């Protein structure tokens, strides 16, 4: 089993994810440059955080046209697991693989801190290792992490049990305190918090391990 | 081919909070300007595009506006293509 990390110009959490998956969890991991369309031999894909294409136009707006994402859509349709973290989440919404959009934080400031989260759903196997309504703490680091969707979309993701993670104390104005969502099928997860920054005992927090371990479960 | 020039305006939908606009409204008060009821910040994008006729140019600008330059979940767009002032021979 191996994990692929899509790397765009401006990605800056790609090596962090690799350290977490390969260095901490022992999962074979390789980088996939955004111009490649070859995803053969890859069992799960991570879209890492960062500032793909300098966040030009809108976060993730230009990355969504990268050649690798054509292959990614097929990968998702075939049931492959995809995790988008922070900028990766933004790309997944721009791509239409997840509903809603991430916009500027309500208070305009870039927020970088540990934050308390509640695991809202165990419908997908991303969180099947956690107890229901488990509280975890993960770092966030974003300026445009305010999840926005209209009322109809919110009802749809609620009805589909697609809300994966919610903030205890909403830091950025996100609709319904949403920090992470899954697609209806459950194989795509997008989240603003960074699980890869909570996988190494030296960093004092291991709350992200189970999420990354579930890439290959 | 003719070169068309489009001025595209992208604005946040009215239902979407614009914190940068709100902050600018507060700054307007500090500048001493009273009576500013609303500031909404959008984008103005200038595009020059080659097309065989106006219909083709409009079709391509619409696709560009809808699929690249805006995100329809949060933004509306309009454009005008009235400035067809750059022309060259076919």
Strands (E) in chain B, as ranges, are 2-12, 43-51, 75-80
B16 neighbourhood in chain A, CB within 8 Å: 103, 148
Closest CA to B13 of B74, B81, B84, B67: B74
Mean pLDDT of successive 10-residue stretches along chain A, which has 217 residues: 96 97 97 96 97 94 94 97 98 97 94 96 88 92 97 97 97 98 97 97 94 93
Please report the pLDDT score of residue B85 as a whole number: 56
What are the sequence ranges of the domains in chain A?
Answer: 3-216
Contact A149 B73 (CB under 8 A): yes
Closest CA to A98 of A157, A176, A173, A167: A157
In a domain, B86, yes or no: no
Q: SS3 for A118? A: strand
Nearest CA in chain B to A98: B73
Work out the pLDDT band at B90, boundaries 50, 70, 90. Answer: very low
Closest CA to A101 of B75, B77, B22: B75
B17 neighbourhood in chain A, CB within 8 Å: 103, 106, 173
Q: How far apart are CA A82 and CA A97, in angstroms?
A: 10
In a domain, B56, yes or no: yes
User: Model ipTM?
Assistant: 0.83
How many CB atoms neighbour CB B29 within 10 A? 11
pLDDT digits (tens, 9 = 90+) for A59-95: 999 999 999 999 999 999 999 999 999 999 999 999 9
Query: What single DSSP character describes residue A169?
Result: S
> CATH number for the domain including B72?
3.30.1280.10
Counting the structural domains of chain B, the total is: 1
In a domain, B45, yes or no: yes
Q: Please provide residue B8's backbone torsions phi and psi, each rounded to the nearest 5 degrees.
A: -105, 135
Picking from A61, A107, A108, the nearest residue to B68 by CB comes out as A61
Nearest CA in chain B to A102: B74
Is A118 among the catalytic positions? no
Q: B62 is in which domain, residue-wise?
A: 2-80
pLDDT digits (tens, 9 = 90+) for B27-77: 999 999 999 999 999 999 999 999 999 999 999 999 999 999 999 999 999
Which of the four CATH numbers 3.60.10.10, 3.40.50.880, 3.30.70.141, 3.30.70.270 does domain A3-216 have? 3.40.50.880
Picking from B16, B20, B71, the nearest residue to A108 by CB comes out as B20
Which B residues 45-64 touch A at CB under 8 Å? none
pLDDT digits (tens, 9 = 90+) for A139-160: 999 999 999 999 999 999 999 9
CB pairs under 8 A between A and B: 32
Indicate which of A53, A55, A58 best probes the interface with B, i.e. most B CBs within 10 Å of its own CB: A58
In a domain, B87, yes or no: no
In a domain, B8, yes or no: yes
Q: Among A86, A146, A149, A199, which one carries the catalytic annotation?
A: A86
In a domain, B85, yes or no: no
């Amino acid at each position: 089993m191996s994990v692929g990390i899509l790397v765009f110009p401006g990605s800056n959490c790609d090596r962090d994810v690799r350290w977490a998956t390969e260095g901490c969890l022992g999962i074979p991991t390789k980088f996939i440059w955004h111009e490649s369309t070859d995803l053969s031999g890859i069992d799960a894909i991570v879209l890492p955080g960062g500032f793909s294409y300098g966040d030009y136009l809108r976060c993730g707006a230009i990355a969504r046209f990268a050649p690798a994402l054509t292959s990614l859509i097929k990968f998702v349709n075939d049931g492959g697991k995809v995790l988008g973290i922070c900028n990766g989440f933004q790309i997944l919404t721009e791509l239409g693989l997840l509903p809603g959009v991430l916009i500027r934080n309500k208070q305009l400031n870039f927020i970088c801190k540990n934050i308390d989260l509640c695991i809202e759903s165990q419908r997908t196997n991303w969180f099947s290792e956690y107890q229901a309504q488990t509280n975890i703490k993960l770092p966030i680091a974003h300026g445009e992490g305010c999840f926005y969707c209209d009322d109809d979309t919110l009802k749809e993701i609620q009805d589909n049990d697609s809300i994966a993670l919610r903030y205890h104390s909403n830091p950025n104005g996100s609709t319904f305190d949403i920090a992470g969502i899954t697609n209806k099928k459950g194989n795509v997860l997008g989240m603003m918090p960074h699980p890869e920054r909570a996988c190494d005992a030296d960093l004092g927090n291991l709350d992200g391990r189970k999420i990354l371990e579930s890439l290959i479960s | 081919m003719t070169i068309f020039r489009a001025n595209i305006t992208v604005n946040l939908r009215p239902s979407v909070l614009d914190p940068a606009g709100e902050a600018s409204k507060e700054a307007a008060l500090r500048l001493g300007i009273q009576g500013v009821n609303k500031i909404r910040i959008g984008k103005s994008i200038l595009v020059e595009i080659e097309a065989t006729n106006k219909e083709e140019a409009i079709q391509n600008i619409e696709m560009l506006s809808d699929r690249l330059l805006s995100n329809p979940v949060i933004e509306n767009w309009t454009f005008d293509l009235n400035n067809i002032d750059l022309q060259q021979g076919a």
